[in-house]
Each structure stands twice: as structure tokens, then as C-alpha cells.
Amino acid sequence: MIRSLSLAALLLLFMNTSYAQGGCTTLLESLEAASATELCGEHKRLRSYKNPYCDTTNSIFHDIMKQIGIKAAKEGLTKEVVLSNMGEPYYHGPLADYEKQKVSVGRNGTRTGKALPPAYKIPTGEYYIVYFWRETDYLVFALKGGVVVETRWWEKGNFR
């Protein structure tokens, strides 16, 4: 009896764990209360799942990226903290090299040209870290002296 109960409990635990990883859920109690460093770590965790539920507008992953953009400069994250906690970016380096990296992705994943519209204002900095999301959206960190001074979020179709 106890053995079958233990097996049932283990099976239930496994099912709940796999479901939690299958959905786009966060381990943080509150995105608003979390620090930028905690949000960066959660970004890396969710990104590792490559889950289509995370790649939808207004998903938890989307909200986490927007919160990182809001908090990173306020909390003065360093380049090392961003890179180690968020994982490998789409690009990091000086602006001149970044200009060559800006490409958009068209149908069937083919790269078609520059993605950011002319009206997009790149934040002012010496060094840039760019995270590419859903092949169309960007979170750009501008750094001076190795510290994030400004971030800019851009979503496809947002020409502000």
C-alpha cells in the first residue's frame, strides 16, 4: 500500500514538474518585485526551453523582457551580469559593428535586410548588447564604462 502510494506521489510530482516546464511560467513570485538580475536569470531559464508559448505577445517571457528593459539601467547592471545571467546575446560590441548586424527575418526565416526602422532611436552608449526575440523583436542594452545606462525595447510594428 505504502509502496504504491509512493509511486503515485512520485508520478504526480513528475507530471506537475513536466507541465510547469511545458508552459511558459515563471519561478519568480512577482515580476515587479524581482531585481533585474533575477529577471535576467529567469529570461535565460525560459529561453532554454524554446517553448512556442513563451514566444507569444504578452506571455510571461515577453513581460520579463520588458521588465528587464525597465530595471537594468535603474539598477546599473554590468556587462558581465547581463551576459552571464541572460545567456548568449544576438550581438554584443561597439555600435559600428552593431549596424552591420541589424537584419530582419522574412518569411521562412530568410534574412531580408535591416530590421529596425529609420525612426528607431538607438540608445546612446559605447558598447551594446542585443537580445533578439521571436526573430523580430529586440531588447537593446547601451553601456558606458561597462554599466547599462539605457535600454530600448522594440517590437515589430512599433514605430515609436
Better-predicted residue by pLDDT, 89 or 96: 89
Mean pLDDT of 97-110: 56
State pTM to two decimals: 0.72
pLDDT at 69: 92
Domain ranges in the chain are 31-154
Beta bridge partners of 92: 129
pLDDT surpasses 90 at 94: no
**Pseudo-torsion of CA 81, 84, 89, 92, nearest 10°?**
60
Query: Which of 4-8, 10-14, 89-93, 132-136 reaches the highest mean pLDDT?
Result: 89-93
Query: Which of 17-21, 30-34, 87-91 reaches the highest mean pLDDT?
Result: 30-34
Distance from C-alpha of 5 to C-alpha of 85, rounded to nearest angstrom: 40
pLDDT surpasses 70 at 158: no
Q: Is 44 helix (H, G, I), strand (E, B) or coil?
A: helix
Give the residue from 38, 70, 94, 73 showing the smallest Cα distance to 147. 73
Where residue 12 falls among pLDDT bands split at 50, 70, 90?
very low
Amino acid in position 156:
K
- Which residues lie closer than 8 Å to 47 by C-beta, 6 or more apart? 54, 61, 86, 87
Distance from C-alpha of 101 to C-alpha of 115, rounded to nearest angstrom: 10
pLDDT (tens digit per residue) in 106-140: 555 555 555 555 556 778 889 999 888 877 788 88
